[in-house]
A = this chain, B = another copy of it.
Amino acid sequence: MKDARRRILDTATRLFYTEGVHTVGIDRIIAEAGVAKATFYHHFKAKDLLVCAYLTEQYDLQRIALPALPGEGRAKLETVFARLAELGTGPGFRGCPFLNAAAEFADPAHPVRAIVDDYRVWFTGFMSGLLTEAGHPSPEPTAHQLLLLRDGVAVSGALDTPEQVRASALASLRSLLDAPA
Protein backbone atom coordinates (compact mmCIF):
# COMPACT_ATOMS: atom_id res chain seq x y z
CA MET A 1 0.00 0.00 0.00
CA LYS A 2 2.47 2.62 -1.07
CA ASP A 3 1.12 5.30 -3.27
CA ALA A 4 -2.48 6.22 -2.53
CA ARG A 5 -2.63 8.73 -5.37
CA ARG A 6 -1.59 6.05 -7.84
CA ARG A 7 -4.26 3.71 -6.51
CA ILE A 8 -6.93 6.40 -6.79
CA LEU A 9 -5.99 7.25 -10.36
CA ASP A 10 -5.84 3.60 -11.40
CA THR A 11 -9.24 2.86 -9.91
CA ALA A 12 -10.75 6.00 -11.41
CA THR A 13 -9.34 5.14 -14.82
CA ARG A 14 -10.87 1.69 -14.73
CA LEU A 15 -14.27 2.84 -13.48
CA PHE A 16 -14.56 6.03 -15.52
CA TYR A 17 -13.67 4.20 -18.68
CA THR A 18 -15.85 1.14 -18.26
CA GLU A 19 -18.89 2.75 -16.61
CA GLY A 20 -18.76 6.44 -17.43
CA VAL A 21 -17.75 9.51 -15.48
CA HIS A 22 -21.11 10.69 -14.22
CA THR A 23 -22.35 7.30 -13.11
CA VAL A 24 -19.32 6.59 -10.92
CA GLY A 25 -19.28 8.44 -7.62
CA ILE A 26 -16.41 9.43 -5.36
CA ASP A 27 -17.56 6.99 -2.66
CA ARG A 28 -17.24 4.11 -5.07
CA ILE A 29 -13.75 5.14 -6.12
CA ILE A 30 -12.40 5.54 -2.61
CA ALA A 31 -13.98 2.26 -1.56
CA GLU A 32 -12.43 0.27 -4.40
CA ALA A 33 -9.12 2.07 -4.12
CA GLY A 34 -9.03 1.34 -0.38
CA VAL A 35 -8.48 4.98 0.47
CA ALA A 36 -9.97 7.43 2.96
CA LYS A 37 -12.09 10.28 1.70
CA ALA A 38 -9.76 12.84 3.25
CA THR A 39 -6.87 11.27 1.40
CA PHE A 40 -8.72 11.56 -1.85
CA TYR A 41 -9.46 15.25 -1.39
CA HIS A 42 -5.89 15.74 -0.29
CA HIS A 43 -4.63 14.59 -3.68
CA PHE A 44 -7.46 15.90 -5.87
CA LYS A 45 -9.19 19.12 -4.97
CA ALA A 46 -12.42 18.08 -6.70
CA LYS A 47 -13.88 15.29 -8.81
CA ASP A 48 -13.54 17.31 -12.00
CA LEU A 49 -9.80 17.56 -11.42
CA LEU A 50 -9.62 13.80 -11.08
CA VAL A 51 -11.40 13.47 -14.42
CA CYS A 52 -8.88 15.84 -15.97
CA ALA A 53 -5.99 13.89 -14.46
CA TYR A 54 -7.45 10.68 -15.87
CA LEU A 55 -7.76 12.10 -19.38
CA THR A 56 -4.40 13.83 -19.28
CA GLU A 57 -2.75 10.56 -18.37
CA GLN A 58 -4.50 8.75 -21.21
CA TYR A 59 -3.37 11.50 -23.54
CA ASP A 60 0.25 11.15 -22.39
CA LEU A 61 0.11 7.39 -22.74
CA GLN A 62 -1.16 7.54 -26.32
CA ARG A 63 1.30 10.27 -27.23
CA ILE A 64 4.07 7.92 -26.21
CA ALA A 65 2.62 4.61 -27.38
CA LEU A 66 1.44 5.48 -30.90
CA PRO A 67 4.69 7.04 -32.19
CA ALA A 68 6.60 4.12 -30.64
CA LEU A 69 4.82 1.61 -32.86
CA PRO A 70 7.02 -0.08 -35.47
CA GLY A 71 7.16 0.84 -39.15
CA GLU A 72 7.55 4.01 -41.10
CA GLY A 73 5.29 6.19 -43.22
CA ARG A 74 2.46 4.26 -44.74
CA ALA A 75 3.27 0.99 -43.00
CA LYS A 76 3.14 2.78 -39.68
CA LEU A 77 -0.24 4.30 -40.55
CA GLU A 78 -1.61 0.82 -41.04
CA THR A 79 -0.08 -0.32 -37.76
CA VAL A 80 -1.53 2.65 -35.91
CA PHE A 81 -5.06 2.02 -37.17
CA ALA A 82 -4.81 -1.68 -36.53
CA ARG A 83 -3.79 -0.83 -32.97
CA LEU A 84 -6.63 1.67 -32.57
CA ALA A 85 -9.18 -0.84 -33.78
CA GLU A 86 -7.70 -3.42 -31.43
CA LEU A 87 -7.80 -1.02 -28.47
CA GLY A 88 -11.43 -0.09 -28.70
CA THR A 89 -12.86 -3.49 -29.50
CA GLY A 90 -11.38 -5.81 -26.90
CA PRO A 91 -13.60 -7.52 -24.33
CA GLY A 92 -14.68 -5.05 -21.66
CA PHE A 93 -13.53 -2.15 -23.79
CA ARG A 94 -15.80 0.73 -24.49
CA GLY A 95 -14.48 2.87 -27.31
CA CYS A 96 -12.41 5.97 -26.88
CA PRO A 97 -12.03 7.58 -23.45
CA PHE A 98 -11.83 11.05 -24.98
CA LEU A 99 -14.98 10.78 -27.06
CA ASN A 100 -16.93 9.19 -24.24
CA ALA A 101 -15.86 11.93 -21.87
CA ALA A 102 -16.68 14.65 -24.40
CA ALA A 103 -20.16 13.20 -24.79
CA GLU A 104 -20.67 13.41 -21.04
CA PHE A 105 -19.50 17.02 -20.79
CA ALA A 106 -21.75 19.03 -23.06
CA ASP A 107 -20.25 22.41 -22.19
CA PRO A 108 -17.45 23.16 -24.70
CA ALA A 109 -15.82 25.47 -22.16
CA HIS A 110 -15.31 22.72 -19.61
CA PRO A 111 -11.64 21.84 -18.92
CA VAL A 112 -12.33 18.25 -19.92
CA ARG A 113 -13.18 19.43 -23.42
CA ALA A 114 -9.90 21.33 -23.66
CA ILE A 115 -7.98 18.10 -23.07
CA VAL A 116 -10.04 16.30 -25.68
CA ASP A 117 -9.38 19.10 -28.16
CA ASP A 118 -5.66 18.95 -27.41
CA TYR A 119 -5.65 15.26 -28.11
CA ARG A 120 -7.44 15.72 -31.41
CA VAL A 121 -5.05 18.42 -32.55
CA TRP A 122 -2.10 16.25 -31.62
CA PHE A 123 -3.53 13.23 -33.43
CA THR A 124 -4.17 15.21 -36.59
CA GLY A 125 -0.60 16.52 -36.54
CA PHE A 126 0.69 13.01 -35.95
CA MET A 127 -1.23 11.75 -38.99
CA SER A 128 -0.06 14.68 -41.07
CA GLY A 129 3.55 13.89 -40.18
CA LEU A 130 3.23 10.24 -41.13
CA LEU A 131 1.56 11.18 -44.41
CA THR A 132 4.33 13.61 -45.25
CA GLU A 133 6.86 10.91 -44.38
CA ALA A 134 5.04 8.56 -46.72
CA GLY A 135 5.30 11.11 -49.51
CA HIS A 136 1.58 11.73 -49.69
CA PRO A 137 0.68 14.60 -52.05
CA SER A 138 -1.81 16.34 -49.72
CA PRO A 139 -1.07 15.49 -46.10
CA GLU A 140 -3.24 18.12 -44.41
CA PRO A 141 -6.67 17.35 -45.89
CA THR A 142 -5.96 13.64 -45.71
CA ALA A 143 -5.00 13.92 -42.05
CA HIS A 144 -8.46 15.32 -41.33
CA GLN A 145 -10.03 12.43 -43.18
CA LEU A 146 -8.01 10.05 -41.06
CA LEU A 147 -9.28 11.83 -37.95
CA LEU A 148 -12.81 11.13 -39.19
CA LEU A 149 -11.86 7.50 -39.69
CA ARG A 150 -10.30 7.34 -36.23
CA ASP A 151 -13.53 8.62 -34.67
CA GLY A 152 -15.54 6.11 -36.63
CA VAL A 153 -13.32 3.26 -35.51
CA ALA A 154 -13.51 4.37 -31.89
CA VAL A 155 -17.28 4.64 -31.89
CA SER A 156 -18.09 1.59 -33.95
CA GLY A 157 -15.60 -0.43 -31.96
CA ALA A 158 -17.72 0.13 -28.90
CA LEU A 159 -21.01 -0.68 -30.59
CA ASP A 160 -20.42 -3.24 -33.31
CA THR A 161 -18.55 -6.52 -33.73
CA PRO A 162 -14.75 -6.25 -33.53
CA GLU A 163 -13.98 -8.20 -36.70
CA GLN A 164 -16.35 -6.09 -38.77
CA VAL A 165 -14.78 -2.89 -37.46
CA ARG A 166 -11.21 -4.04 -37.96
CA ALA A 167 -11.82 -5.12 -41.53
CA SER A 168 -13.77 -1.99 -42.43
CA ALA A 169 -11.17 0.27 -40.83
CA LEU A 170 -8.25 -1.17 -42.79
CA ALA A 171 -10.21 -1.22 -46.03
CA SER A 172 -11.21 2.40 -45.50
CA LEU A 173 -7.67 3.42 -44.66
CA ARG A 174 -6.37 1.93 -47.88
CA SER A 175 -9.09 3.56 -49.95
CA LEU A 176 -8.35 6.94 -48.41
CA LEU A 177 -4.61 6.64 -48.90
CA ASP A 178 -4.81 5.33 -52.46
CA ALA A 179 -7.37 7.88 -53.61
CA PRO A 180 -6.31 9.91 -56.64
CA ALA A 181 -5.52 13.53 -55.87
The reply to whether A148 and B176 form a contact with Cβ atoms under 8 Å apart is no
Kindly report how many copies of this chain are found in the complex they form together: 2
Q: Smallest CB–CB gap between A15 and chain B, Å?
A: 10
A3 interface residue (CB < 8 Å to B): no
The reply to whether B148 and A152 form a contact with Cβ atoms under 8 Å apart is yes
Which residues of chain B have C-beta atoms less than 8 A from A176's C-beta?
172, 175-176
Residues on A lying within 8 angstroms of B by beta carbon are 18-20, 22-23, 94-95, 99-100, 102-104, 106, 116-117, 120, 141, 144-145, 147-156, 158-160, 164-165, 167-169, 171-172, 174-176, 178-180
Residue in B144, B155, B172, B175 whose beta carbon sits within 8 Å of that of A168 in the complex: B144
A3 to B178, CA, bound (A): 55
Residue of B nearest to A149 (CB): B152
A180 to B175, CA, bound (A): 8
